[in-house]
Amino acid sequence: MVVTKEEVQALYKAHILPENNNPYHFEAKDNASTSLDAYNPMCGDKFQLHLNVKDDTFDTVHFHGFGCAISKASTSILLRKIEGISKVDAIALCEKFLKNLTEDNQVDEFDKELNTLIALKHFDGRIDCIKLPWEALLAHLMKG
């Protein structure tokens, strides 16, 4: 599926740029209970996720670092989604999101923001940018 220039521009304008320009909790919080890197060595994008966990639930979460608009927007949206939910629910969310992102057809419904990210998978060559924080968080949570 090819995405036209106009469609991409519309997606960027409506969702990615606002999120990129006003990312959620974009701040280095080095004293968080957990910190992890979301890093893509192929392109150099690297975000630190600072997660405060209480009773197996994500309390406040922040992130910081450097990356393209899509990876930054994706990280920002991810953080907004996991704040206040349990680790178990976060794992489920990451898995479900990544599944819909990777497979040809979207099978589950998400809210508008996540749908936008999934729609962008057809913007060729950028799927790794979308995936970046989701895969990093999932890998971290699966470790225990």
Partner 1 sequence: MLKNTKTYFPIFKKYPDLVYLDSAATTQRPKLVIDAINQFNSFENANIHRGVYDLSNSATKNFELAREKVAKYLGSTNPKTIAFTSGTTNSINIVASSFLRPRLNKDDNVVITLLDHHANFIPWQMLAKEKEAEFRVVPIDKNGNLDLTVLEKSLDQKTKFLSLNHISNSLGTTTDIGEIIALAHKKNIPVMIDAAQSIAYYDLDIHQLDYDFLAFSGHKMFGPFGIGVLYVAEKWMKNITPYNYGGGIIKDVTIEDTTFSDFPFNIEAGTPNISGVMGLSSAIDFIHKFDKKEMIQHISDLVNYCTDQLISIDKVKIIGNPENRSGIISFVVDGIHPHDVASFLNQDNIAVRAGMHCTQPLLAAMNTSATVRVSFSIYNERKEVDQLKNSLVELIKFWS
Give the binding site for partner 1 (CB under 8 A): 5, 8-9, 12-13, 17, 39, 41-46, 66-72, 123-126, 129
Least distance CB 41 / partner 1 (angstroms): 5
Rounded Cα–Cα distance for residues 101 and 119 (Å):
8
> 90 or 130: whose CB is closer to partner 1?
130
Least distance CB 12 / partner 1 (angstroms): 8
> 23 or 93: whose CB is closer to partner 1?
23
Closest CA to 62 of 95, 93, 102, 26: 26
Least distance CB 66 / partner 1 (angstroms): 6
> 67 or 133: whose CB is closer to partner 1?
67
Least distance CB 85 / partner 1 (angstroms): 29
List the structure tokens of 123. 């913007």
> 41 or 144: whose CB is closer to partner 1?
41
What are the C-alpha distances in Å from 23 to residues 3, 73, 76, 98? 25, 7, 5, 21
